[in-house]
Amino acid sequence: MNLAELVGRTSVDTLDHLERQTTVPVVDGLQAQGDLIVIPFSALDTPPHDNAGRWVPAEGLHLISGTGGRNPHVLVADPDTCRWWPTGTELAAFRNPAPVYLLHPEHGGTGIAPDRWVVRRQRVTGPSAD
């Protein structure tokens, strides 16, 4: 899968500085894309309940749409290969027997290996700077 193919499957376009013919790597561990963190269930002390969920639609699932619909993070999967469900504390959880992808206008694409995953927003913790 390359970036041009991901863009063609969604309503999301990427910025011009990203090379469209670049192959999107598929990663099988913890990863981040901007302010999203993708965590394998195996890395969690208490993974969310794995329920039936819904299929990721052909045009992708907008996990975060950003202000005014700009800067979305979109989960992209082949038809009938990825089920997702809301978890309450995270943005979503999903299971995929085939690679799936996250697409973002500024960051391009990242591939996610087959497994079960949780998607969270990045959180900043610790003392605040004055």
pLDDT surpassing 60 at residue 130: no
Among 26-35, 43-52, 65-74, 99-108, which is the least confidently predicted range?
65-74
Decide: 86 and 102 in contact? Cβ < 8 Å: no
pLDDT for res 125: 64
20: Cβ–Cβ under 8 A, 6 or more apart, which residues? 2, 3, 4, 7, 14
pLDDT tens across 74-124, in order?
899 999 999 999 887 788 999 999 999 998 877 778 899 999 999 998 766
Can you tell me the distance from the alpha carbon of 84 to that of 75, in angstroms, rounded to the nearest whole number? 10
pLDDT for res 127: 67
Dihedral sign (CA 94, 97, 99, 100): negative
pLDDT for res 43: 94
Between 101 and 64, where is the model more confident? 101
pLDDT over 90 percentage in the chain = 41
Can you tell me the distance from the alpha carbon of 66 to that of 107, in angstroms, rounded to the nearest whole number? 14
